[in-house]
């Protein structure tokens, strides 16, 4: 049985690590997953409650053969267990999203893999249940701190989302049109290595950013979040300041870095792209995706 799925990356408006509440937006960079299953048996008595839902599952990330595949294989296992299947299988992912840059590559991989596994067994789930399954897998294998429910919702639902990660609650979702520029420094930054203590120190101010997001002032929420987390995690605020000096209203460190994202008007793209290119690293132009 073969299945295919895809999901998008995302950028940060409010990082949930400090307060367990966050906001994010979907971007037009995608991860695809292909799942192949064989030797399948099914016992409906094992569905949902769990049982022997897993055979031998192998994983591969295209163009990154040494990368850890625990997240995507865990996603396959959870879906099979949910429906009472026992199968051997393999999952392969391919991605346009730079990994370990705060652009939600893990959330996209989890969502895409869950969808591909559902496709392989001919089942469907509501999108929020797909998200929850991917979040559980990410927590199980330790690639996230809060579960990244905000990131996963943006990836799977599109638009801008505001969430309560502790309670796995989607607070609001909006459609929002904007071009997006992404600045990629050379270094990577893995979420699991983040200094949570320093992030918690700025929690009262992150609460203000979250309130701005609830008030739909997404640009100021994003910029405040960016300055706070740059300070807390030791990233260069000059990337943010250079965009602000050009009149960009919304710019932030994305996730726990190392990428920065900016919501830009068409008349700002060329100037900011040139400015960021002069600072080293690379720049990607994309947009917010509202419809998936």
Q: What is the pLDDT of residues 148-158, one digit of tens each?
A: 999 999 999 99
Q: Are residues 120 and 73 part of one domain? A: yes
> Whose CA is closest to 105, among 240, 9, 212, 226?
9
> Taking 90 as the threshold, does the pLDDT of residue 191 lie above it?
no
Partner residues linked to 162 by β-bridges: 23, 172
> pTM of whole model > 0.85?
yes
Number of domains in the chain: 2
Tell me, yes or no, whether 112 and 148 share the same domain: yes
Q: How high is the pLDDT of residue 49?
A: 47
Which residue among 172, 198, 213 closes a domain?
A: 172
Range of the domain at 206: 178-287
256 pLDDT exceeds 70?
yes
Q: Do 33 and 163 fall into the same domain?
A: yes
- Cα–Cα distance between 167 and 128 in angstroms, integer? 13
Per-residue pLDDT at 50: 47
Instruction: Give the pLDDT of residue 210.
Output: 98
In this prediction, residue 145 has a pLDDT band, given cuts at 50, 70 and 90, of: confident
Rounded CA gap, 257 and 233, in Å? 9
The tens digit of pLDDT for each residue in 21-47 reads 999 999 999 999 999 999 888 876 655
* End residue of a domain, out of 172, 203, 233: 172
pLDDT in tens, 192-221: 556 778 889 999 999 999 999 999 999 999
Structure tokens belonging to residue 217: 């002032």
In a domain, 292, yes or no: no
């Amino acid at each position: 049985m073969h299945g295919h799925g895809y999901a998008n990356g995302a950028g940060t408006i409010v990082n949930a690590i400090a307060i367990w509440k966050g906001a994010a937006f979907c971007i037009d960079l995608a991860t695809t997953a292909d799942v192949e299953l064989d030797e399948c048996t099914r016992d409906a008595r094992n569905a949902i409650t769990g049982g022997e839902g897993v055979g031998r599952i192998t994983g591969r990330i295209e163009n990154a053969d040494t990368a850890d595949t625990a997240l995507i294989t865990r996603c396959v296992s959870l879906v099979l267990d949910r429906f009472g299947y026992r199968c051997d299988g393999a999952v392969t992912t391919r991605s346009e999203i730079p990994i370990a840059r705060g652009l939600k590559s893990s959330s996209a991989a989890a969502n895409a893999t869950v969808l591909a596994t559902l496709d392989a067994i001919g089942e469907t789930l509501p999108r929020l249940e797909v998200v929850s399954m991917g979040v559980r897998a990410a927590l199980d294998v330790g690639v996230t701190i809060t579960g990244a429910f905000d990131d996963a919702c943006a990836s799977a639902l599109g638009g801008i989302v505001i969430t309560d990660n502790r309670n796995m609650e989607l607070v609001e979702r909006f459609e929002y049109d904007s071009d997006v520029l992404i600045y990629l420094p050379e270094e990577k930054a893995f979420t699991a290595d983040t200094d949570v203590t320093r992030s918690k120190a700025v929690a009262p101010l992150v609460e203000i950013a979250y309130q701005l997001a609830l008030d739909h002032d997404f640009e100021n929420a994003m910029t405040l979040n960016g300055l706070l987390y740059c300070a807390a995690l030791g990233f260069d605020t000059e990337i943010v300041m250079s965009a602000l000096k050009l009149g960009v209203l919304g710019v932030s460190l994305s996730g726990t870095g190392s990428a920065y994202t900016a919501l830009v008007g068409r008349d700002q793209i060329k100037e900011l792209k040139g400015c960021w290119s002069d600072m080293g690293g690379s720049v990607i132009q994309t947009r917010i995706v509202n419809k998936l």
